[in-house]
């Protein structure tokens, strides 16, 4: 890890001491969890830390990240720490008997050993993973956009509650969401990189949802990588917030309507991942044995970092950092937990 990845805001000083930071973290997590559950009609369930390597349930993110795996002596099987619970949640919705327009959320904890560590990225990942059942009639952009607005509303409500407890944390999140597809974003900023395009559009509109991520654009490139077997690339997106402290956009959620049979078939072909068709999850989906769903992940530490107006994610979670990063942060008023 190189400390050159760091953004070090000039004159930074945390608005909360360490003890108040811990109290505020609890306030944010409890409050946002309640708001999210209420707005999206979700019930909390327990979640696994690891899944069988042969189940096809682990999310392979961009397809290159290495999962942390180990064997379990008593059952003679290798398991892997989850990267996310995108596919697991869909199975659970069926198994637990959830009805249409109802769903689940859970605390997902993961280890992503190949992350490049900086202000926003940690080896330790914690997020609210959520999933709900939809119908063929609600498998559309209108439902996706309405759900995004509900998530932003939960965030704004949580920000207001935190401000009441800690008045020094002034609300700044824009409640209005600007929607744009990744192709429209490329057309708007054809000379910029994907990250530069995200920053440019989010700096202008403050709260942005970039839709249709995963397939190739008109320039032959992808806006960002997406696994082929959970989100439908035509009905997904990333929720971004403009964060003035770091002068950049921050992704707080990746979400979308999940693949149905035609979408999974197309995306497995497009990604050269047809061998997955023989995995238990993919077989069940291709045989129409799983419900239609929508879901996503929302970064817990990122939400806390933003609402507590911190400069580094290590100020709101205990993880591992290089000595260089710890020293550089300390010199600039950033105390890592």
Between CA 292 and CA 283 the distance in angstroms is 15
The catalytically annotated residue of 90, 112, 226, 276 is: 112
Identify whether 320 is a catalytic site residue: no
Identify whether 251 is a catalytic site residue: yes
Identify whether 30 is a catalytic site residue: no
The catalytically annotated residue of 182, 254, 267, 319 is: 254
The catalytically annotated residue of 127, 212, 253, 300 is: 127
301 neighbors 110 (Cβ within 8 angstroms): no
Q: Of 124, 147, 143, which Cα lies nearest the Cα of 135? A: 143
- Can you tell me whether residue 171 is helix, strand or coil? coil
Contacting residues for 296 by C-beta, under 8 A, at least 6 apart = 129, 130, 253, 254, 255, 256
Q: Of 298, 204, 222, 284, which Cα lies nearest the Cα of 256? A: 298
Burial class (CB in 10 A: 0-12, 13-18, 19+), 236: buried
Identify whether 276 is a catalytic site residue: no
The catalytically annotated residue of 20, 150, 224, 251 is: 251
Between CA 294 and CA 216 the distance in angstroms is 22
Between CA 244 and CA 232 the distance in angstroms is 32
The catalytically annotated residue of 59, 199, 232, 315 is: 59
Identify whether 238 is a catalytic site residue: yes
Contacting residues for 123 by C-beta, under 8 A, at least 6 apart = 111, 112, 113, 115, 117, 319, 320
Identify whether 254 is a catalytic site residue: yes
Looking at residue 297, the DSSP 8-state letter turns out to be E
Active site residues: 59, 112, 127, 238, 251, 254
């Amino acid at each position: 890890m190189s400390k050159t990845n760091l953004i070090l805001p000039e004159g930074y000083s945390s608005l909360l001491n360490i003890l108040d930071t811990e109290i505020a973290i609890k306030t944010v997590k409890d409050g946002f969890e309640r708001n999210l559950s209420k707005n999206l009609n979700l019930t909390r369930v327990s979640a696994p830390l690891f899944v069988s390597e042969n189940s096809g349930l682990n999310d392979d993110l961009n397809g290159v990240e290495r999962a942390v795996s180990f064997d379990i002596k008593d059952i003679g099987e290798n398991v892997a720490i989850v990267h996310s619970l995108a596919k697991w949640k869909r199975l659970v919705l069926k198994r637990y008997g959830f009805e249409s327009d109802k769903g689940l959320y859970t605390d997902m904890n993961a280890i992503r050993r190949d992350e490049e560590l900086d202000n926003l990225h940690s080896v330790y990942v914690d997020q609210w993973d959520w999933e709900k059942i939809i119908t063929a009639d609600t498998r559309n952009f209108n439902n996706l956009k309405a759900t995004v607005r509900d998530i932003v509303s939960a965030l704004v409500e949580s920000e207001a509650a935190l401000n009441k407890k800690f008045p020094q944390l002034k609300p700044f999140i824009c409640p209005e969401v600007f929607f744009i597809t990744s192709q429209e974003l490329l057309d708007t900023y054809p000379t910029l990189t994907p990250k530069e395009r995200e920053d440019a559009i989010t700096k202008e509109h403050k709260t942005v949802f970039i839709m249709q991520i995963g397939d190739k654009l008109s320039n032959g490139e992808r806006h960002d990588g997406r696994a082929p077997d959970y989100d439908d690339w035509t009905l997904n997106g990333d929720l971004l917030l403009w964060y003035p402290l770091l002068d950049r956009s921050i992704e707080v959620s990746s979400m979308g309507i999940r693949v149905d049979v035609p979408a999974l078939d197309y995306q497995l072909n497009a990604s050269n991942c047809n061998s997955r068709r023989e995995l238990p999850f993919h077989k069940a989906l291709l045989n129409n044995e799983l419900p239609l769903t929508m879901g996503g992940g929302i970064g817990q530490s990122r939400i806390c970092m933003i609402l507590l107006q911190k400069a580094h994610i290590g100020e709101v979670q205990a993880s591992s950092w290089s000595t260089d990063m710890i020293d550089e942060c300390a010199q600039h008023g950033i105390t890592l937990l």
